[in-house]
Chains A and B, each alone.
Chain A
Amino acid sequence: MSDLIDELVGIAPGDPLDALRAKRPTAKADAQATYDALVTSPSDLGRASAVERAAIGYWVAVLSSAGRLAAHYRDLLAALDASIVTAIDAAAADALTSGPYGAFPPGPLSTEDEDGLHWTASAELREAVGARLAAALEHAHLLTYRPRDSSPDALQALLDAGWTTDGVVTVSQLVAFTHFQLRVVAGLTVLKEQQR
């Protein structure tokens, strides 16, 4: 069975990191199972299509500057619809920033509120990918950089763009899971060079 995290970090059977990951076998197997259920072999393409799933994963990886994961999703998406890759690449420059930032509910933590980019899809991007995927990319930007700014309005925007409640759950899982996946890759890549 191929394992995407092993592939992206460069872990071969018998490597020290292979043994370390093997001590948490369920975490390893179910990270891959989640990825498969969300991206490679979802059971329900009605709630989110293969193109939408690959595009959202690519977008989150690009926004997070997760180079190897972004390259992987880029290949996946290009094989499905190269025009979406082009549209997302064109949108990325104006969307990149660093996080997390955002506002807390008013009170003692308000002194920690930090403003930042509230990105919305351009008319060109909306035209290229459609209103429904554009809304998901806006939501993914929110969850990537300023998750504490989440709101019922943000979910309503997804519903209004044509996502169902089941679809919103799947899109949310996809964005959130990709943030796990890219951090395991980032962390293990650093550890690989520093092992003792």
Chain B
Amino acid sequence: MSEQVIRHPEIERPNAFTQEELGWEPWLEPKPAEALTEEDYAGLVERKRADSPYFRLLVRDPVVLGARTRADNDIFYNTDSGLGRAERELSAAATSRTNGCIYCASVHSRFASLQAPSRRDDVQRLLDFGVDGAQDERWTAVVEAAVALTATPSHFGPAHVAALHAVGFDDQAIVDVIQSAAFFNWANRLMLSLGEPTPPAR
């Protein structure tokens, strides 16, 4: 007999994009906390990630999880030049909106709003209307580049680079747009396929 997935028929699945804090339940058994080895903790990078069922599921391949997590941190949190923090989160949110990852979009739209508190409504417009929601020219260039790179096959082309240059982003910032959108094409596929979001706690 093969192993069995975990089903959650009781969950009322969130069915709209939101900046609220959602939960997430896995469809496969995470590694039990008491079974974690030192290699697993190295893969988790931060010990507190052992509290997360998502990371305890991914730690079933600890070397890959460790590399994934360190790459994630460098792409989003290394602020030595390049794209601003808010715009990196915007790129992640636009990618997640396009792929349809309600959970990832909730986290990174919330982070974008935290980084740019005056722009919470702009972020919400991205969630509500996707690429059709109007943004200023800088955010439009970032969103359109992320969305084009998210298409399969990729539609990202010279016009996206030219548009990013035209609104003042340098090549280092464009590398950050590319890597943050590319990274969420990785993250979205894991979050969407290994479990499901749960409603905000009330």
Residues of A bordering B, CB below 8 Å: 16, 20-21, 23-27, 30-31, 33-34, 37-38, 43, 63-66, 98-100, 102, 104-109, 112, 139, 142-145, 147-148, 150, 152-156, 159-160, 162, 164-166, 168-170, 172-173, 175-177, 179-184, 186-188, 190-191, 193-196
Are A155 and B27 neighbours in the complex by a CB distance under 8 Å? yes
Looking across the interface, which residue of chain A has its beta carbon closest to that of B68? A34
Are B3 and A66 neighbours in the complex by a CB distance under 8 Å? no
B101 CB contact (under 8 Å) in A25, A109, A148: A148
Give 6 A-B pairs besides A38-B64, A180-B186, A187-B149 with Cβ atoms closer than 8 angstroms.
A27-B78, A30-B74, A66-B153, A112-B130, A179-B189, A190-B158
Looking across the interface, which residue of chain B has its beta carbon closest to that of A142? B193
- Interface majority SS (helix, strand, loop, mixed), chain B: helix
Residues of A within 8 A of B183 (CB): 180
Interface size on B, residues (CB 8 A): 71
Residues of B bordering A, CB below 8 Å: 2-7, 13-17, 27-29, 57-58, 60-61, 63-65, 67-68, 70-71, 73-75, 78, 80-82, 98-102, 130, 149-154, 156-158, 160-162, 165, 171-172, 174-179, 181-183, 185-190, 192-194
- Interface majority SS (helix, strand, loop, mixed), chain A: helix
Residues of A within 8 A of B100 (CB): 100, 102, 104, 109, 147-148
Looking across the interface, which residue of chain A has its beta carbon closest to that of B197? A105
Are B194 and A172 neighbours in the complex by a CB distance under 8 Å? yes
Residues of B within 8 A of A159 (CB): 2-5
Given A30-B70, A43-B63, A191-B99 contact (CB < 8 Å): no
> Cα distance A27–B101 when bound, in Å?
23
B190 CB contact (under 8 Å) in A106, A152, A165, A176: A176
